Amino acid sequence: MSVTFSELATDFISHIDFSKLSLAISLGSIAFNPIFWNIVARQEYKNKILTKLAGGNRLYGCYGLAVTIFSLGIIRDLLYERALRDQPSWPLFAKYDLIVKALAVISFAIGNVLVLSSMWALGITGTYLGDYFGILMDNIVTDFPFNVCANPMYYGSTLSFLGTALWFQKPAGIFVTVFVFVMYIIALGFEEPFTAQIYAKREAERAAESQKTK
Q: Is 7 annotated as a binding residue?
A: no
**The total number of residues written for the chain in this structure:** 214
Helices 58-85, 152-168: inter-axial angle, 10-degree rounding: 20
Prior bond to 88 cis, omega within 30? no
Using CA atoms, how far apart are residues 152 and 93, in angstroms rounded to an integer? 28
Using CA atoms, how far apart are residues 109 and 119, in angstroms rounded to an integer? 15
Pick from 68, 32, 35, 34: which is nearest to 50 by CA? 68
CB atoms near residue 31 (< 10 Å): 17
Prior bond to 193 cis, omega within 30? no
Using CA atoms, how far apart are residues 85 and 73, in angstroms rounded to an integer? 19
CB-CB contact of 84 with 173 (8 Å) = yes
Q: Is 109 annotated as a binding residue?
A: yes
Q: Is 110 annotated as a binding residue?
A: yes
State the sign of the Cα–Cα–Cα–Cα dihedral 83, 40, 205, 60.
negative
Separation of first and last alpha carbons in the chain: 80
Q: Is 205 annotated as a binding residue?
A: no
Q: Is 69 annotated as a binding residue?
A: no
Which residues line the annotated binding site?
Answer: 109-111, 191-192
Which residues line the annotated binding site for S-adenosyl-L-methionine?
Answer: 109-111, 191-192
